[in-house]
Structure 1
Amino acid sequence: MPDRIFWMGSAIALVAGLAIAQGDRLARSLTAEAAPAELLDGCTDIPEAVALAETLRLRGIAVDRALADLERRKGEIAAAEAQITARLLSLKKAKAALGETRAGQDAGRSEGIERLIAVYDAMKPAEAATIIAALPPDFAAEILTRVQPDAGARIIAQIDPGQAAVLTAHMGARRLTGD
């Protein structure tokens, strides 16, 4: 998922960069100026010329406002791009930290399970059978699949036959699914 976020952020940043570059070219080519007063010298008696000059002046103002808005948006895009980049970096760091945490937890969990298995291997079969009979079947099956085979056989022999059958079925299912 973070890889997908990285690529999406990169695509957005690329589009934003292209928009900024395109905006610079557009701003340079479309600089508008209101009609200078000398343009109308001698034409004030022609209403069409005055109206045209006023229309051009208003359009020039509108273009200037649009260019100013484009510049503002360009700044917003640059700020958004910086935020996206910072967020991507933060997500990458979080992903790396999560991977390290999971690796540490898996190692600790595995070490804890190995110690637990060693305890059951060292117990007398009748004592181990009493405890295992009280555990949930899937957890008990996990323990029985990991203890030494001869210790597991002696423990199962001490468990009620009906419950031993359930545990054996769980053990077989675990082996078939690869858990």
Structure 2
Amino acid sequence: MHKALIWGGTLALLGLGVVASRGDGIAAQLRAEAAPPLLLQGCTDVPEAVALADTLRQRGIAVDRALADLDRKKQELAAAEQRIRTRLDALKAAKAALGDARGARAAGTAQGIDHLIAVYDAMKPADAATILAALPPDFAAEILARVQPETGARIIAGIEPGQAAVLTARMGSRRLGGD
């Protein structure tokens, strides 16, 4: 009869381990640390049963701690994932805003250049020639390449011949370069 109680207690403890490992609501109610005193009642004179029950109880406690640690780590990972998603959304918004700003700046620059070209188109060729002669050659060549051809011809005619040759060469190389 004593052996039957030992085997019954052992099977009961193993059953608790199976129930605890299933992860359902019963596992929360039946913890390994609460069961041994009831199972060992009347079997305390068998040292093997007591040692086995204590070992199983310790393993149950270790499993419970590991599950709690796993739940804590799962929550930490979820929080970290949320922080990463928030940061990613902020970076996407910043990237979109930067693209919008670049587009606006490019449009503003193009609009500014168009306005500048219109100003040179409206100026008297002699006045435009005086101003363009004082500008850096690359910039002056860019303006001359964009003004109306008739206006550009009159402006170049008003620039000193050596400088007009440099500007004309830069305009030609700009067109040949595909700009």
Over 3 Å counting, the alpha-carbon distance change for 1:127 and 1:27 in structure 2 is farther
Over 3 Å counting, the alpha-carbon distance change for 1:117 and 1:64 in structure 2 is same
Contact 1:138 1:167 in 2 (8 A): yes
% identity of equivalent residues = 70
Name the structure, 1 or 2, with higher relative contact order (CA <8 Å, separation 6+): 1
Distance in 1, matches of 2:54 and 2:176, equals: 85
Distance in 1, matches of 2:168 and 2:55, equals: 91
What are the superposed Cα offsets for residues 27-74 of structure 1, whole Å, 9 maximum, x if unpaired? 827x56336223334554444444443333233222222211221222
Contact 1:27 1:67 in 2 (8 A): no
Q: Which residue of 1 aligns with 2:139?
A: 139
Distance in 1, matches of 2:71 and 2:145, equals: 68
Backbone CA RMSD of aligned residues? 2.9
What are the superposed Cα offsets for residues 71-121 of structure 1, whole Å, 9 maximum, x if unpaired? 122222222232233333333333333333333323322222111111111
Q: Which residue of 1 aligns with 2:116?
A: 116
Structure 1: gaps of 5 or more residues: 1-25
Q: Does 1:164 align with 2:164?
A: yes
TM (norm. structure 2) is 0.66
Q: Which residue of 1 aligns with 2:106?
A: 106
Q: 1:101 aligns to what SS in structure 2?
A: helix
Q: Which residue of 2 aligns with 1:68?
A: 68
Distance in 2, matches of 1:158 and 1:135, equals: 15
Q: Which residue of 1 aligns with 2:40?
A: 40
TM (norm. structure 1) is 0.66
Over 3 Å counting, the alpha-carbon distance change for 1:45 and 1:160 in structure 2 is farther
Is the radius of gyration larger for structure 1 or structure 2? 2
